Structure 1
Amino acid sequence: MITHFDGADLSWTNRLIREQGMEPVLVRPFAGELLPEPENAAAVICLGGPQSAFEDTEHPFLIDEQKFLRRAVQEHVPVLGICLGSQVLAKALGGRAVPGTRGLECGFIDVLPAPDQPGREPVGLQGRFFSFHTDTFVLPAEAELLATSSQYPQAWRLGSALAIQFHPEISPAGVRQLVSVEETKLREHGVDVDGLMAEAVSAHDAAWAEAQRVVGGWLANTKNF
């Protein structure tokens, strides 16, 4: 797992990895930790973070991540990019990361199959998930768009790579942590912070089921690569 800040909510992800008989290994390139040889990984999850993927000059470790993810896909290693990770993955495979033009997407959103994908929701991508971002991705040329929301594209795949803009892996504790850091900015953007936290708490069981379906389903499928 590649993380972009200390204190990321990994509780559900670690649990799901171990349920598949794997052992989670966390790497922090932002702190100077070196990425392993990608072919030595059973799978790779590139997580979210506060950086912008298109600001790799200011954050040169993101360039190293792009090289690592590109090699991983070339070696047919299963790669899952989440939020910032999906944007880094897009850049790695020939797409782009860009500032969003439709504003902040924050809270629980409905993720729907792409218009040309009726009835095809790989690893359970259709559902209601937590989201928090303003940046977005432009798909690599040969990528297949899988899902959208009312504001942004939400998922695509290419080869052994799956990219998702939303956060199926985040628990209510993780939402609470994010809100505690970003509350002032969220309220300035008109986000109903109290309502968001109330939904996170009430949706705990449903969100865990979605985490199992998306992240757990993807991890189970990595054994087929």
Structure 2
Amino acid sequence: MTGTGGEVLVITHFDGADLSWVDRLVRQQGLACRRVQPFAGEALPEPDRAAAVICLGGPHSAYDDAGHPFLAAEQQFLRRAVQADAPVLGICLGSQLLAQALGGRALPGTRGLECGFIDVRPVQAPVPGAVETAVPAGLDGRFFSFHTDTFIPPADAELLAVSDRYPQAWRLGSALAIQFHPEISPAGIRQLLALEEDKLRSYGIDVDDVIAEAAAARDTGWAGAQRIIGGWLAGRVSV
């Protein structure tokens, strides 16, 4: 089933989250972004009122819904959306919330902080001549990542991609979950790192190098966003 309607609901988890690339890709499909901020007390609409749902990253832990009750409400919303066969994309924290919502688990990672540009590779090579459906092309390459938590996918999910430390993508029904960040522009990466700069430097992360790589990789980053998010939107959403 493809989503219908004129808006893509984008759930964010901190003030000023970078939507520049997401908004551009959504508009290319003849749709509009509707940002919703449950962390700020904004109510989530019914899932069937949106063409699709994109749940982005944030500083919270998906398993800390006792400390952040809005996360429990988001998980219930995501579960209902997938049950209704609405297209749902979870990125970073969003991927972990999707895991919890659909019977998997979010938990602290055992292999430390994954921050900077990482190499993502598919679990299985594409089958020659296979027809692309809901899974976008390009779930491999070099992408920005920033997380310490991870997920255990739901039991019936298909693992799609990994890095050398963590699982990176899975799908189940109408849901696609991605741990890394194909959606974020170099300006968004700079903003995100600035919020955590002191902490990251204490971990030995060279923030300046990461920002420089983001700027140098702008064109390939945008191409990856088009392949993954643009491909997902084109395959799952109809106006």
- Provide the TM-score with structure 2 as the length reference: 0.91
Matched to 2:141, the amino acid is G
Unmatched tracts of structure 2, length 5 or more: 1-9
Q: Give ranges in structure 1 of 5+ residues lacking alignment.
A: none
Is residue 48 of structure 2 the alignment partner of residue 48 of structure 1?
Answer: no
The CA distance in 2 between the partners of 1:128 and 1:215, in whole Å, is 15
> How far apart, in 1, do the equivalents of 2:192 and 2:15 lie?
12
* Structure-2 separation of matches of 1:86 and 1:46: 8
Letter in 1 for 2:126: G
- 1:141 match: 155
Residue 2 (structure 1) aligns with? 11
Within the alignment, does 1:24 sit opposite 2:33 as a pair?
yes
- Residue 41 of structure 1 and its aligned partner are, at CA, apart by 1.1
Deviation digits for residues 102-155 of structure 1, max 9, x if unmatched?
A: 0000001111011xx122694121111100000000110100000000000000
Aligned to 2:98, the other structure's residue is in SS state: helix
Aligned residues: 222
After TM superposition, the runs of 4+ consecutive aligned structure 1 residues lying more than 4 A away are: none
Residue identity in the other structure for 2:67: E
**Which residue number corresponds to residue 37 of structure 1?**
46
| Equivalent position to 1:118, from 106, 112, 125 | 125
Alignment match of 1:108 (pick from 105, 117, 122): 117
In 2, Cα distance between the equivalents of 1:31 and 1:194? 31
Mean CA deviation greater in 152-161 or 33-42: 33-42
- 1:223 is displaced (CA, Å) by 2.9
Q: Secondary structure at the match of 1:207?
A: helix
- After TM superposition, the structure 1 stretch with the greater mean CA deviation from structure 2, 212-221 or 156-165, is 212-221
- Aligned counterparts of 2:216 and 2:194: Cα–Cα separation in 1: 18
Aligned-residue Cα RMSD (Å) equals: 1.1
The TM-score, its normalising length taken from structure 1, stands at 0.96
% identical aligned pairs: 71
One of 213, 217, 222 as aligned partner of 2:227: 213
Highest RCO, 1 vs 2 (Cα 8 Å, sep ≥ 6): 2
- Give per-residue Cα distances to partners, 1:5-60, cap 9 Å, x unaligned: 11101100001001101111111111111101001111000000000001000000
Residues 52 and 237, structure 2, Cα contact 8 Å, conserved in 1: no
